[in-house]
Amino acid sequence: MTGEQRRSGLRTKFEGWVAIAAGEAHRMARGRDLSAQGIGLTLGGPHPFTEGAVESEFALPGFFVPLKLPARVVWADPRTKRLGLRFEEIDADLAELLENYVAGRL
């Protein structure tokens, strides 16, 4: 799917590195924004992720343990090298951590 979808829920700026993996494709991307449901990214080179399941890994600022979250590419724009991931199968504690971070309570 290409083009940005309408977002719902609170989002915050996120400028950290995010590792993305899908099968044999492994890339580093820069975070753009973050919500409890997903993350917006910018890739610096070729754009191998256009749709489907990926594994994302990133650390929240101030936290030393990286979060490994299964996600799905919900939109991708190879022209701008941007894409959006929706997190899947997040446990309740991790969802609460993300919600608190996005809301500025951490």
Give residue 7's pLDDT band: very low, low, confident or very high (50, 70, 90): low
Predicted confidence at residue 1, as pLDDT, reads 38
Query: In this predicted model, what pLDDT tens digit does every residue of 29-74 receive, in sequence order?
Result: 999 999 999 999 999 877 776 778 999 999 999 888 999 999 999 9
Predicted confidence at residue 4, as pLDDT, reads 43
Query: In this predicted model, what pLDDT tens digit does every residue of 66-99 receive, in sequence order?
Result: 999 999 999 988 889 999 999 998 999 999 999 9
Q: What single-letter DSSP state applies at residue 103?
A: T
Predicted confidence at residue 2, as pLDDT, reads 37
Buried b (16+ CB within 10 A) or exposed e, 46-70: ebbbeeeebebebebeeeeeebebe
Predicted confidence at residue 32, as pLDDT, reads 96
Which domains occur in the chain, in start order? 12-62+81-102 (2.40.10.220)
Predicted confidence at residue 37, as pLDDT, reads 94
User: Hunting for tokens 């500025």 — which residue is that?
Assistant: 104
